[in-house]
A and B are shown apart, each in its own frame.
Chain A
C-alpha cells in the first residue's frame, strides 16, 4: 500500500512539473578520493561522510530525487571485489541516502548493468539476470527507497530483466534509462523508439536516456521517443562531449549555464524528469533547477499505442500507412524439414526463413512451433532467442497454449504481438493476463463458444464481447488487431463478403487495426495465388492494416504495393516506384538492341554481364565472325578498358572482377573454336601461383590468377599454405614461365624469400612475381623478384617479364 501511494504521488508530481534529478556521482567520488580500481559502493560504506556530502550537495542544489550510490551493487559486480552481502550493502547505502537528504527529497534506488550481456545477446541466462536484480531491489526496498531507477543499460534484454525484477519485487515507481551512442542506438543496436515501446509496455513508469552524449546529441534521441510516449521521459545527459587535452586527459567542458540552457527544450519534448550524468556537478543541477522553475512537461500524447518492437526497432501501426505483411513461413504445418529441425532442437532453418522473409519485404514474423510431441514452451523460447538476434523484425507469437505464450513473451526482447485471443474459451483469461503482464499487443479472433460465427453481425458481436473483457485488463483499442477470420471460398461463396464487411466495420467504425490470414480464402482451389491476390486488394480497399502471407510470393507483394498506391497509402507512389526502380534498367535492353553485335559483346564484358556473353558470342560465330578476331578485337580491348577504368578508380574491385569473370566465360566458350598454329600460342605460357606456406589468405592471389587467365595464360593455382618444395616441384614439372607468390603477413612473407632462394639453388631460372599487403617493391627486389600491387598491375608486370625472357 505504501508503495502504491508513493507511486501515485510521484505520478502526480511529474504531471505538475519537471522533477529534477541529481548529477554525476562517480566523478564526484573520484574528486573526493575514491581510488582507481576501488569498489565505489564499499568505499562509500567505509567513507560515509563523502557520499553523504554529495547527496546533500545535490539536495541543496535543488534535486527532487537523488540516486543511491548502488550503481554496481549487484551480485555479479560486487563479486569482482570479493563481496557478497548484496542486500546489506544496498540497504545500508539506501539508508545513508535517506539520512543525508531527509524526507523532502526522494531517494531512488539505483540499478546499473551487471557487466554481462543477457541471453540471447550474451552468456547470462535471463532468469539469472532477473534474480540478480531482484536481490539488489530487495536490499534497496528494505532501505526505504521511494522509487527505483534502472540506468545506463546498453542491452535491452538486461533492462527488461531489471524491469521485470522491479515489477515483481516492488510496487514502486520505476524509471528505465538506456545509454545511446552518437548514432542514436544502444551498443547492441536498439534504437530509441524500440527502447521506449519495449520498456513502457513492460511497465516502466518513465523511460529515457542517460550518459554517452551531451544534451545537444541527446536531444535527437529524446525526439525519437517523444511522439510515441505514453509515460514521462527521462533525460540525464553528460556535461557535453569529453575533449582530449594536450596532456592526454579528457574533460567535460560544458558550463552549468550552457547545460541548463537545454532544459526547457527537453521538457517541451515530454521530459518530466531531468538531471545530469558524467561531468555534471551540483552547480549544473542548480542551474538546471533555476531554468526549469515552473516548467511543466506536456501530457503524454498517447493513451494507447499501436506498436510492436524487436530488439532493434519499433513498428508503429499508423493510420493510412502502407499495408503490413506478417511473414507466415515459420510454421511447421506441412513443412517436414522444419518439423525435423524443431524436433532435433535446432533453429538454423528458422533463422534462415526469418532472414529470407525480411529480405522479401515482411514487416513482422509469425512464429509457430506447433509440432506434436515436443516441449513447445522450450522450443518456442529457443526459436525466439535465435530470431531476436538473426532478424530485425518484430515477432508474432503464434500459439494456442497460454504456457507457450507466457514463456515466449518473457524471453522476447521487445514488445510482441500475440496470435491470438479468442472468446468462448477458458484460455482467454489466461492469455489476457499474460498479455497484460508483459504489455503485449494481441490479435483478436472473433470466435465464440459456439465456434466460428458465419455472419458479419455475429462476428461484430464476438469482437465487442472480447474487447469488453480485454478492457477490464486495461487494454485499449490501440493494443488490439482484429482478425477478419477468413474462411475458404470453395466451401462457402458468401464467406469472403462477410469477412470484408467485418474488416470494413472494424477499420472504419470500430476504429481498430485489422488483419487477414490471407491464404485460407483459396484453400482447395487451383492457382491459389490469384485468388489470394484479388482478395488482398479487395480487403486493402476496406482498410485492412496487416495480412499474414508469404512474402516470397512476388506477385502478391507487387499487388500489395499497387494497392497501397490506389488506396492513398503510398503518397506519390514513392515506395511503389522504389520497388521497381531496378527494373527501370529494362529500358537498357531496348537501347542495347540498338547497338551492333560487336558493341554488345564489348558492353557485356565491360558491364560484367556473364549471363549473356555466351549467347552473344554464339550469335557472332553464327554470323561468320572469326573466334580469334572476336578475342583479340573485342574481348581483350574490352577487358583492357576495364583495367584502365579500375586504375582510374572509375571501377572498383567487384566491377573489375565481374568483368574478368565475364571475359573468362567468353574465352572458355571461344576456346574450342580457336585454331592454333603460327606464332607463339599464349596458352602455352604456364604460370604457377600459390599463397606461401603458413599463410591462409588467398583472395588476392585468386584475383591475380583470374586476371592472368583472362590474358590467355595457363595458370596452375596451387592454393594456399603451399610449401616451397611443392611450388618448385610444380614449376619444374610444368616448365613454368613464371611463378607468382602471395603472402599477407610479416611472418609469412619470409617464406617467399625462402622459396625464391631454394628455387635458385635447385636451378629454377624463371622469374618470380610477389604481392601481398605487407610486401613492398624494394623488398621484392631484395629477394630477386618483381612486385605487383594488384591484379591489373600483375598483368602488366607479367607481360614485361615474359617479353624480357623472350628477348634474353
Chain B
C-alpha cells in the first residue's frame, strides 16, 4: 500500500471571500463600513498567526464499488450508496486530512472569555475556511503530480458525515492517514480534536 504523505507546513493566504461568506456577508446586500471591514480583516490576519496548518494524504486503489459502498485495500469498506455513486468509475481515491492546530482554538476561547465574541466568530470562520482551503492545497499538490500520469482528481470531495456516509467512518480515515502524527486525536463520536481538523475523500479520474 502507498505511504501516507505528510505536509508539515501548508502556506496559504486566507480565502477572504469564503470567510466573509461563511460569516453571512452578501456582496450586494450587506452594508459594511470601512472600519468594520478593517476590524474583520485584521482579525483574519491575527487568526493567521495562530493557525499552524498541516496535512496528510494517502492514495489508495479501489478494490470494488457496488451500489451500497466501496472497498479499499486493508479490509477497509465504506458503506454508503451516495459515496459509491460519487466515486463511480474511479479506480483510485485520495484520502486527505488537515488541521489548524490547537493554538487557534485557544485564541478563540480567549477572545470569548474576554467578551469579544465578534472577534471569536471571525477567528472561528477564518480557521474553518483556512483548514478547508488546506484540503484544496493538498488536492492541488496531487493534481500536479497526477497530471503527468494522465490523471486528475475529481473537482469535488466527500466527507464522512455527508448524506449516508456515516461520520463514524472518519475513524477509519483518521487511522489510515495516521493523523495522530499531526497532533490530532479522535473521540468516540468520531470528532477530530483540535476542533479545526477535517478529512475528505475524492476520486481520481483518467484522461
A-B contact count (CB 8 A): 172
Q: Is the CB of A581 within 8 A of B34?
A: yes
Closest 6 CB pairs of A and B: A747-B189, A652-B24, A26-B148, A657-B118, A694-B189, A652-B25
Residue of A71, A608, A654, A699 ringed by the most chain B CB atoms within 10 A: A654
Is the C-beta of B63 less than 8 angstroms from some C-beta in chain A?
Answer: no
Is the C-beta of B180 less than 8 angstroms from some C-beta in chain A?
Answer: no
Is the C-beta of B71 less than 8 angstroms from some C-beta in chain A?
Answer: no
Is the C-beta of B23 less than 8 angstroms from some C-beta in chain A?
Answer: yes
Q: Is the CB of B145 within 8 A of A652?
A: no
From A654, which residue of chain B is reached at the shortest CB distance?
B118
Q: Is the CB of A117 within 8 A of B9?
A: yes
Is the C-beta of A212 less than 8 angstroms from some C-beta in chain B?
Answer: yes
Is the C-beta of B4 less than 8 angstroms from some C-beta in chain A?
Answer: no
Contacts of B89 in A (CB 8 A): 247-248
Q: Is the CB of A187 within 8 A of B30?
A: no
Please count how many residues in chain B sit with their CB below 8 Å of the partner chain's CB atoms.
68
Q: Is the CB of A649 within 8 A of B144?
A: no
Q: Is the CB of A242 within 8 A of B32?
A: no
Q: Is the CB of B120 within 8 A of A702?
A: yes
Is the C-beta of A367 less than 8 angstroms from some C-beta in chain B?
Answer: no
Is the C-beta of A593 less than 8 angstroms from some C-beta in chain B?
Answer: no
Q: Is the CB of A608 within 8 A of B9?
A: no
Segment with Cβ contacts to B, from A249-257, A633-641, A672-680: A249-257
Segment with Cβ contacts to A, from B35-43, B76-84, B93-101: B35-43
Contacts of A695 in B (CB 8 A): 189, 191
Instruction: Tell me the A93-137 residues at the B interface (CB within 8 Å).
Output: 115, 117, 120-123
Contacts of A117 in B (CB 8 A): 7-9
Task: Name the contact of A582 in the complex, choosing from B34, B118, B122, B147 (C-beta under 8 A).
Answer: B34
Task: Name the contact of B121 in the complex, choosing from A36, A115, A359, A657 (C-beta under 8 A).
Answer: A657
From A658, which residue of chain B is reached at the shortest CB distance?
B118
Is the C-beta of B206 less than 8 angstroms from some C-beta in chain A?
Answer: yes
Contacts of A36 in B (CB 8 A): 91, 149
Q: A187-B140, A654-B39, A661-B118 are in contact. List 7 more A-B contacts (CB 8 A).
A: A36-B91, A242-B152, A654-B122, A658-B36, A694-B188, A695-B189, A699-B120
Q: Is the CB of B117 within 8 A of A703?
A: yes
Residue of B45, B148, B155 ringed by the most chain A CB atoms within 10 A: B148
Give 8 pairs: A residue, B residue, CB < 8 Å, sorted on A.
A30-B149, A117-B7, A179-B144, A187-B141, A248-B89, A311-B11, A582-B35, A694-B187
With A187-B137, A652-B24: A694-B191 Cβ-Cβ less than 8 Å: yes
A-contact 0/1 string along B179-192, CB 8 Å cutoff:
00000000111110
Q: Is the CB of B45 within 8 A of A359?
A: yes
B-contact 0/1 string along A272-293, CB 8 Å cutoff:
0000001100000000000000
Closest chain-A Cβ to B157's Cβ sits at a distance in Å of: 15
Instruction: Tell me the B21-62 residues at the A interface (CB within 8 Å).
Output: 23-26, 29-36, 38-40, 42, 45, 49
Is the C-beta of A152 less than 8 angstroms from some C-beta in chain B?
Answer: yes
Closest chain-B Cβ to A451's Cβ sits at a distance in Å of: 43
In Å, the complex CA distance between A123 and B55 comes to 12
With A649-B29, A652-B25: A702-B9 Cβ-Cβ less than 8 Å: no
Q: Is the CB of B207 within 8 A of A251?
A: yes
Q: Is the CB of A249 within 8 A of B193?
A: no
Q: Is the CB of B49 within 8 A of A649?
A: no
Q: Is the CB of B144 within 8 A of A212?
A: yes
Q: Is the CB of A745 within 8 A of B117?
A: no
Contacts of A650 in B (CB 8 A): 29-31
Closest chain-A Cβ to B71's Cβ sits at a distance in Å of: 18
In Å, the complex CA distance between A520 and B20 comes to 45
In Å, the complex CA distance between A645 and B12 comes to 33
Q: Is the CB of B6 within 8 A of A123?
A: yes
In Å, the complex CA distance between A149 and B30 comes to 51
Is the C-beta of A181 less than 8 angstroms from some C-beta in chain B?
Answer: yes
Is the C-beta of A655 less than 8 angstroms from some C-beta in chain B?
Answer: yes
Instruction: Tell me the B159-207 residues at the A interface (CB within 8 Å).
Output: 161, 166-168, 187-191, 193, 195, 205-207
Is the C-beta of A735 less than 8 angstroms from some C-beta in chain B?
Answer: no
Is the C-beta of A211 less than 8 angstroms from some C-beta in chain B?
Answer: yes
From B31, which residue of chain A is reached at the shortest CB distance?
A650
Contacts of B11 in A (CB 8 A): 121, 188-189, 311-312, 389
Is the C-beta of A778 less than 8 angstroms from some C-beta in chain B?
Answer: no
Instruction: Tell me the A615-673 residues at the B interface (CB within 8 Å).
Output: 645-646, 648-655, 657-658, 660-661, 664
In Å, the complex CA distance between A248 and B65 comes to 15
Is the C-beta of B85 less than 8 angstroms from some C-beta in chain A?
Answer: no
Is the C-beta of B124 less than 8 angstroms from some C-beta in chain A?
Answer: yes
Is the C-beta of A684 less than 8 angstroms from some C-beta in chain B?
Answer: no
Is the C-beta of A748 less than 8 angstroms from some C-beta in chain B?
Answer: yes
Closest chain-A Cβ to B32's Cβ sits at a distance in Å of: 7
Is the C-beta of A1 less than 8 angstroms from some C-beta in chain B?
Answer: no
In Å, the complex CA distance between A80 and B145 comes to 14
Is the C-beta of B116 less than 8 angstroms from some C-beta in chain A?
Answer: yes
In Å, the complex CA distance between A480 and B191 comes to 56
Task: Name the contact of B26 in the complex, choosing from A279, A649, A774 (C-beta under 8 A).
Answer: A649
Instruction: Tell me the A328-386 residues at the B interface (CB within 8 Å).
Output: 352, 355, 359
Is the C-beta of B74 less than 8 angstroms from some C-beta in chain A?
Answer: no
Q: Is the CB of B121 within 8 A of A355?
A: no
Q: Is the CB of B30 within 8 A of A122?
A: no
Closest chain-A Cβ to B31's Cβ sits at a distance in Å of: 5
Is the C-beta of A802 less than 8 angstroms from some C-beta in chain B?
Answer: no
Q: Is the CB of B141 within 8 A of A702?
A: no
Contacts of A312 in B (CB 8 A): 11
With A188-B11, A696-B193: A352-B49 Cβ-Cβ less than 8 Å: yes
Instruction: Tell me the B97-124 residues at the A interface (CB within 8 Å).
Output: 108, 112, 115-118, 120-122, 124
In Å, the complex CA distance between A317 and B155 comes to 41
From B28, which residue of chain A is reached at the shortest CB distance?
A649
